[in-house]
Amino acid sequence: MNHITGLIITLNEAENIAECIASLRQVCEEIVVVDSGSTDKTVEIARASGAKTVVQPYLGDGPQKNVGIAYASNRWVFSLDADERILPELAEAIRKLDLENTPYDAFTVRRRNYIGDRWIRCCRWYPNPLVRLYRTDRARYSDSRQHASVGVPASRCGHLAFDLQHFTYPDTASMFAKQVGRFSARSAKILYLQGKKVHAWSPWVHGISSFFAHYVVRGGVFGGLDGLSVSLAMSLNAYLKYARVLEFQRDASVRDAQDFTKVW
């Protein structure tokens, strides 16, 4: 039997956490939840579901996930977001692994990203392979505070040709709202704090380049209305990110109104 700890980071995930924990229990004998200070019943539900639950002010994506490693009793960890689920076929493949004797330090899985109940296969939203199962003594998440990944050499990484589900957005409107709102604002603050200098043409160049990459290069054109919507949302994110950085550079009143200590 494989001994695996499931790891989840949360913030106000009361609607998702119980089902996420149940999904992990298909392959994990222990669950660790690292909560960022939820104001709903996330922590209460997680503890009632038998998860080892700790509260840690948010440090960013990679550092926050690495906090959970200290609370894991097992060497192998499977990391899952609260809005993700392990499909039965993937669970069966994980149970069949011989983790005590495997030559690998980590394994990738495929991820299905959804808008509502629609599985989006274009724009490189699938197969979207990610390292989720890894040995904590040989691999862990990078220190990146957004979009962190597990660093492991390709030769030491196995691949499981099975899927987990990611319920990315409940609908198209929420995708646009997050990309043009919180996501682009956060990215703009990060770029500004890094000293990124942009020019008047930067928003246009990045916005158009993003649309071309998603709609043409990554096959959004073959995804119907959803492919177009994803491409437009990503291009608007890119445009606004650089437009906001430019605004911080040019307009002191806008810049001074921002709290750059609260990027996360």
pLDDT digits (tens, 9 = 90+) for 132-162: 999 999 998 988 777 888 989 999 999 999 9
- What does the pLDDT average to over 1-18? 96
Could you report the per-residue pLDDT of 38-94, keeping only the tens digit for each?
Answer: 999 999 999 999 999 999 999 888 999 999 999 999 999 999 999 999 999 999 999
Spell out where the chain has E strands.
Answer: 4-10, 30-35, 52-55, 76-79, 84-86, 106-115, 118-119, 130-135, 157-169
- What does the pLDDT average to over 241-254? 97
Is 90 in contact with 147 (CB distance < 8 Å)?
Answer: no
- pLDDT on residue 264: 64
Compute how many other C-beta atoms are within 10 angstroms of the C-beta atom of residue 39.
Answer: 9
For the chain, count helices (H), then strands (E). 9, 9
- pLDDT band at 263; cut points 50, 70, 90: low
Distances from the Cα of 219 to the Cα of 8, 178, 213, 214, 230, angstroms: 32, 22, 8, 7, 11
- Closest-CA residue to 61 (of 46, 42, 79, 44): 79
- Closest-CA residue to 66 (of 130, 127, 140, 169): 140
Q: Which of 31-35, 103-107, 145-149 has the lowest mean pLDDT?
A: 145-149
**The whole model's pTM is what?**
0.92
- Distance (Å, whole) CA 44 – CA 10: 12
- pLDDT on residue 152: 92
The better pLDDT of the pair 76, 259 is held by 76
- Closest-CA residue to 157 (of 90, 97, 106): 106
How far from chain centre, in Å, is Cα 159?
Answer: 19
Q: Which of 113-127, 212-226, 247-261 has the lowest mean pLDDT?
A: 247-261
- Closest-CA residue to 111 (of 95, 130, 90, 133): 130
What is the chain's mean pLDDT, rounded?
Answer: 95
